[in-house]
Structure 1
Amino acid sequence: MLLDIGFDAITVKAITQKADISRKTFYLHYSDKFDLLNAIVDKQLEELTAVCEKKREMGCTEGTVLWFRYFQQRKAFFAALFTTESTVLFRHRMLGFIVDQLNSRLEDASPGKDTEVLLNFMSRAVLGVLEAYVLGQLHAEVEEIAEQVGKLLEQIINGQGPDAQTNMVSMQKDE
């Protein structure tokens, strides 16, 4: 239903008819359709956490390719979530998930350093690229997109991004 008519058009009545359950049964498990969506998103984030555990054993670029393949396999589902007006919560939770994943990488690479701005920049950039990919706004193959994102993340995490030395010197002067 999410893929066919979009989340905004879905009603609890339509869900219960499609699932062949009573509304009473639905409300025993979920408070509303948003609660059901949260449960679905929770499941997707659990699966994504497992993918992230696998990618920890890989380099940043290879791991990012694995991560983007996960979204490639579920592209229609995530596109439906990104294009639904009512699912701002999904975008917020996805951003939080990306922040958590990148934060662990940054903490390993820069122990004791304040990385708040860098973390927010990188997380929002990854979410933006991911959203553009699942919405069909990027026309490159998933491997190419993932490799580019992975290489950029690796460079930034290792302090080797564009003008990294200039930026590090200016940041040290500011302290």
Structure 2
Amino acid sequence: MSRKLDPRVVRTRQMLRDALVELIHEQGYEKITVQDITSRATLNRATFYLHYRDKLDLLYQSSKEIVKDLTECIDLSFEEDKEFDFLSDKPHIVFIRLFEQVSQNSNLYKVFLTEKNMPHFTSRIKDVLVDFILKGINHVQPDDQLLTVPREIAVRYFAAAFLEVIVWWLEKDMPYAPKYMAGLLMRIAIKGPYVNNPF
């Protein structure tokens, strides 16, 4: 059983993470020093080194924590809501949780997903989305013979599309609420973009 962290430790790490995100947004990761991070967080260097080896360790641990939080947030089996109607315009709770989690950590996601020197974070988020979408497709249609394309291609296609929609939403400063975005994403994934089949 994992030991719960002291609230003071949690707060200190949050302050350092927030400082890192702000500075990456302002200067880019490469130019930042540990001194910059501690100054922005109004903490001393000794405190920083109690928690992290260097700025790379802070970056790695921060991205690891945010990916873990996202995974736990959307790790709700679709089996738990067997009565859900996927053809309705009502968004599934898992889709809502996805956008709520991104919204709650929007500054970090916006910086980590758009900063050119952090492809590892984008790759991790895509892996989470791949697993999420695979579970959804397996629940809705477990029979490969009833899919129009190989399952793996469908999963990768939707994972890339979902990620791009999330990045767009963040870059536009989240003009729509998480629940509304969840509904849009579900609708386009299940029904496509057309009200009526134009073909």
Which residue number corresponds to residue 5 of structure 1? Answer: 23
Q: Contact 2:75–2:132 at 8 Å: present in 1 too?
A: no
Which residue number corresponds to residue 170 of structure 1? Answer: none
Distance in 2 between residues matched to 1:21 and 1:162, nearest whole Å: 52
Q: Contact 1:55–1:66 at 8 Å: present in 2 too?
A: no
Which residue number corresponds to residue 170 of structure 2? Answer: 134
Secondary structure (helix, strand or coil) at the match of 2:185 reads: helix
Same amino acid, percent of matched pairs = 19
Q: Deviations over 1:13-63 (max 9, x none)?
A: 33355542339936x843x42332121111112211221134744556222
Match of 1:47 among 61, 69, 80: 69
Q: Contact 1:13–1:23 at 8 Å: present in 2 too?
A: no
Range moving further from structure 2, 109-118 or 95-104: 109-118
Q: Deviations over 1:118-169 (max 9, x none)?
A: 111100000000011112166333322211102333x2xxxx6579xxxxxx
Structure 2's unaligned 5+ residue stretches are 1-18, 145-149, 195-199
Root-mean-square deviation (CA, aligned residues, Å) is 3.1
Which residue number corresponds to residue 37 of structure 2? Answer: 15
4+ residue segments displaced more than 6 Å: none
Secondary structure (helix, strand or coil) at the match of 1:22 reads: helix
Structure having the larger proportion of residues in helix: 1
Structure 1's unaligned 5+ residue stretches are 164-175
Secondary structure (helix, strand or coil) at the match of 1:139 reads: coil
Q: What is the TM-score when the length of structure 2 is the normalising length?
A: 0.65
Q: How many pairs were matched up?
A: 157
Q: Deviations over 1:51-105 (max 9, x none)?
A: 1134744556222122211111221221121232221111111111111111122
